[in-house]
Structure 1
């Protein structure tokens, strides 16, 4: 009997403070979206700030006290992406974030997701079954995020946070405070617009880096010819997917410009 139990793998402890904080961030995503859609900007900013702070805290605690878990490695980026997606969509619906920029931000992530699906299937050793596809104990490819991609994520969060905070600053703060600081609503809006253009450039750069760099995705295995073919196909899929969203964002940007011209006339 002892030998039978000795052969069983022990379950990891998932009930940790970092995992709890991550779950609260996951829950916070739809709540922030609800608050944005119902014009509760101050509460939305507070909850968004909570998500950002706990993201730093749970990562620090997991590393310092050796509380990393497999579950945590999955739900942590899931919480970040859920918050980003919900807030971008809701801000676009409210007109606070340009539709073309929201399309570009979300489109890059969707394009990467499509490419990831292909890479996983193509590089999975035979037999390629549904169960084996989702069995991540069978590694088939490794992804190494580019430096510009990490920088772009930071800038996207900065733009989203600024877009959320701007109405609170301009509406809730005493106008005299802004005047004393030499700031005006027009100046703040202009600054946010510049940040949007910077995020546009880094998002395109980030998506493109996954297309033209061959070292971002490392396909495991010994068949170098097959790996080369799979890598080319994966980058082609990513490039076509990304290009389609760029074109769509361009259409939305052109419509926005046309509407602005009509208002001026």
Structure 2
């Protein structure tokens, strides 16, 4: 019986390049926060938000979507969120328990993603093929509450980062937002246990986007 042909797709697209640039900017953003350079940190946040909008528009407008893009885009969001969570917690700008909740959820989801990648990868399951993301195996689709949670988390981290530059004290508003984010973070993590369409396994006859 002939071996099924391995499906590959073009991963070297402008949207993916912009997404990777957001990931690479995260260490610089963290360094800026730790060194109290909140003007530069705010500028990097603006860049991250702008490129997030632009890469999504380009992918839709010019049909440059890819399975890797569905992985890279949330990975960029999580890298940004992790960077902001850790550095802002180190600067005592967000509570450590909230940081633990946010990071703990992301660690569990990341471990699940590694397992799904292994289980869905077409044979042979080799180390090289596992890390060859031109071979799509599964698509991950965020749940509704997860999208809301991501937006609220980014709002909290963005406002917290900008807060030292503001002429007014917004401490009470930030506390209310922190409690809201803690709630949605736990809720969104649990939602993946019950959502039926959060993960879609790609069949061997899947045709990559043209």
Query: What TM-score do the two structures reach when normalised by structure 1?
Result: 0.64
Provide the residue aligned with 1:151 in structure 2: 148
Q: Which is higher, the Rg of structure 1 or of structure 2? A: 1
Count of equivalent residues: 196
1:184-263 alignment to 2 at 5 Å? 185=169, 188-218=170-200
The CA deviation at 1:74 is 4.8
Which secondary structure does the structure 2 equivalent of 1:53 belong to? helix
Which of these residues, 30, 34, 39, is aligned with residue 31 of structure 2?
A: 34
Q: Which segment is superposed worse, 52-61 or 196-205?
A: 52-61
The CA deviation at 1:47 is 1.3
Provide the residue aligned with 1:90 in structure 2: 87
Residues 63, 218 of structure 1: CA spacing in aligned structure 2 closer, same or farther, 3 A cutoff? closer
In structure 1, stretches of 5+ residues that fail to align are 1-8, 171-177, 179-184, 222-265
Provide the C-alpha distance between the structure 1 equivalents of 2:183 and 2:94, rounded to a whole number of angstroms.
16
Residues 88, 10 of structure 1: CA spacing in aligned structure 2 closer, same or farther, 3 A cutoff? closer
1:9-158 alignment to 2 at 5 Å? 12=10, 14=12, 16=14, 18-68=15-65, 72-124=69-121, 128-135=125-132, 137=135, 139=137, 141-158=138-155
Residues 62, 38 of structure 1: CA spacing in aligned structure 2 closer, same or farther, 3 A cutoff? same
Residues 135, 103 of structure 1: CA spacing in aligned structure 2 closer, same or farther, 3 A cutoff? same
- Decide whether the 8 Å contact of 1:14 with 1:71 is kept in 2: no
- Decide whether the 8 Å contact of 1:29 with 1:82 is kept in 2: yes
What is the aligned-residue RMSD (CA, Å)? 2.9
Query: What TM-score do the two structures reach when normalised by structure 2?
Result: 0.79
In structure 2, stretches of 5+ residues that fail to align are 1-6, 204-210
The CA deviation at 1:64 is 1.4
Per-residue CA deviations over 1:61-118 (Å, capped at 9, x if unaligned) read 2221334456655543333222211111111111111111111111111101112223
Q: Which has the higher contact order (CA 8 A, sep 6+)?
A: 2
